[in-house]
Amino acid sequence: MGNIVAIVGRPNVGKSTLFNRLTESRRAIVKEVSGVTRDRIYGKAEWSGKEFSVIDTGGYVKGSDDIFEAEIRKQVEIAIEEADVILFVVDVTTGIVDLDGMVADLLRRSGKKVFIVANKVDNTQRIGLSAEFWSLGLGEVFDVSATNGSGTGDLLDEVVKEFNVADEEKEKEELPRIAVVGKPNVGKSSLINALTGEERNIVTDISGTTRDAIDTRYKAFGFDFILIDTAGIRKKSKVHEDIEYYSVLRSVRAIENSDVCIFMIDAKEGLQKQDLNIFYIIEKNSKGVVVLVNKWDLIEKDHTTMKEYEEKIREQLAPFNDVPIIFTSTVTKQRIHKALETAMQVYENRTKKIPTSKLNEIMLEIIEETPPPSLKGKYIRIKYVQQLPSHAPAFAFFCNLPQYIPDSYRRFLENQLRAHFDFKGVPIKVFFRKK
C-alpha cells in the first residue's frame, strides 16, 4: 500500500513547482497565470529510500472569487479523503490571506497530518517572513523555495517519518486484488452489480477496509479474489462532481492498492484525456490492466467495427498497448465473465517468474541477431539477463556500456520479451546494468 502525499493551497503559491520538484518532472507548465491547467496531477517521488505518490490538487480553477472558494474547498476535501499526509503551501511574499485561513480551518478539523510549506523563500532577505504562518495553528512551518529546491530536503525528512511502515507488510495478502476504475458514468456500479447483484451470498464484506473503497471478497464460478469497488462512493456529492479531473484523483488509492485494474471506458465517448490520465496512473504503478469498453450495445455495428475500434484504442494507449480489450455491456451482461477471466490471466502474467536459463537462451540469441547499435565506434555487448525480484515484471540486462543503449533498443527488447513470454496487460520495466 503506497503512501499518498497531497499538495493543497490557493492558486499561484507554487504548488505545481513544488510538485515538479518532488516528482522531478519538468513537464507541468508553470506560468505566472492564475489557474493554468496542467495535465500532470500525479507522480511518484522517492526520499531516503521511501517511495510515495504525490497528487497536486490544484485543479481547474476559473471564474469569480466565490466559485474560487468552493473549488479550493473541494480540493482540500479531496486531499483530506485521499492522502496520508498533506502539504499546505503558502506564499511568504503575500503573508496570510483569507483563503489561507479557510484552508487552515478545514485542515485543522480533519485531524490529518499537515505540513505548512512557506514557499518562495528564494533569498536570504525572505528568511523570517514565514513566522506569521505559525498563527494558522497547524504546527511547524517549513521555509522552502520550490524554484531552487532549498529547504525541500528538511521538509521531506519529516514527511517520510509519517509514513505507514506497517502497510508494507500487508503486500503479502494471498488473494489477487482487482479494482474497477474509470471516470464517472462509464458504468462501474453496473459492472459491480452485474457481478455481485444476484449473487449477494457469495460476497463477504471485509471489515476494517479503507474509508470508501469497499473491499469485497468475490468467490464464485471458480474465482476467488478481492474486488475493490470505488463505484458507490459519495453519492451525496454527485452533484458537485462536475469536474472529471477530481475523479482521477479519486482513483489513485484504489489503483495503488490493487494488482489488476479493470479499466472501463464508454464506447460512445471513446478514450479521452481524462481516461488516459487514469491509464497513466495504472501504468506508472506497474499494475495489470484489462480495458473494458462498456455500452457496446449502443454502438451501430458491422463486421469490422470491433476490430477498427480496438486498433484505434491501441494506437491511443501506445507505447504500452499490449493489453486485453474486451467489449461489453453491463446491461446485457455480455462478456462480463470473460472480463474476470482475463483479469485473472493478467494477474498470472504479472506475478510470473521466468527461469533465468530460459530467459538467456531466448533473449541472448535475439540480441545476437539484432545487437544494440554501436555508438562512436563503441560496441555494446549484452552478456546476461535476469528477472529482478520485484512485485511486477522487471528485467536487468547486464552489459559493458549500459549508458549508451538507446531508448529504441530498450523498446525492442521489451517487445521481444512480450512476444516470447506472455505479459499481456502488464507494464514491463527493462534496466541496463554494468556487468
The dihedrals phi and psi of 260, each to the nearest 5 degrees, come to: -135, 140
The dihedrals phi and psi of 431, each to the nearest 5 degrees, come to: -115, 150
Per-residue pLDDT, averaged over 165-180, amounts to 69
Is the pLDDT at 333 greater than 60? The verdict is yes
Per-residue pLDDT, averaged over 401-416, amounts to 93
Of residues 293 and 231, the one with the higher pLDDT is 293
Is the pLDDT at 89 greater than 50? The verdict is yes
Grid cell of 89 as nine digits: 503551501
Q: Which residues contact 286 (CB under 8 A, 6 or more apart)?
A: 391, 392, 393, 426, 427, 429
User: Which residue in the block uniquely carries the three cell numbers 496531477?
Assistant: 41
Q: Which residues contact 94 (CB under 8 A, 6 or more apart)?
A: none
C-alpha 419/C-alpha 350 separation (Å) is 15
In this predicted model, what pLDDT tens digit does every residue of 19-62 receive, in sequence order?
Answer: 989 987 544 434 333 333 445 688 889 898 888 999 988 755 55
Comparing CA positions, the residue from 52, 390, 1 lying closest to residue 169 is: 1
Query: Helices in 326-370 by DSSP H: which ranges?
Result: 336-351, 356-369
Ramachandran area for residue 350 (φ above 0: left; ψ -120 to 50: alpha; else beta):
alpha
pTM: 0.81
Report the Cα 110 to chain-centroid distance in Å: 24
**pLDDT for res 96:** 94
Model confidence band, residue 421 (pLDDT cutoffs 50, 70, 90): very high
The dihedrals phi and psi of 405, each to the nearest 5 degrees, come to: -80, 120
Whole-number mean pLDDT of the chain? 84
**pLDDT for res 206:** 47
Is the pLDDT at 189 greater than 90? The verdict is no
Of residues 149 and 193, the one with the higher pLDDT is 149
Of residues 148 and 249, the one with the higher pLDDT is 148
Is the pLDDT at 84 greater than 60? The verdict is yes
Angle at 322 between CA 333 and CA 293, to 5 degrees: 25
**pLDDT for res 232:** 44
**pLDDT for res 70:** 81
Query: Residue type at 378?
Result: K
C-alpha 274/C-alpha 243 separation (Å) is 10
**pLDDT for res 244:** 64
**Across 61-65, 145-149, 307-311, least confident range:** 61-65
Strand pairing class (177-181; 141-143) = unpaired
Model confidence band, residue 113 (pLDDT cutoffs 50, 70, 90): very high
In this predicted model, what pLDDT tens digit does every residue of 237-262 receive, in sequence order?
Answer: 444 444 566 778 878 888 998 999 99
C-alpha 325/C-alpha 425 separation (Å) is 9
Per-residue pLDDT, averaged over 364-392, amounts to 91
Model confidence band, residue 210 (pLDDT cutoffs 50, 70, 90): very low
Is the pLDDT at 311 greater than 90? The verdict is yes
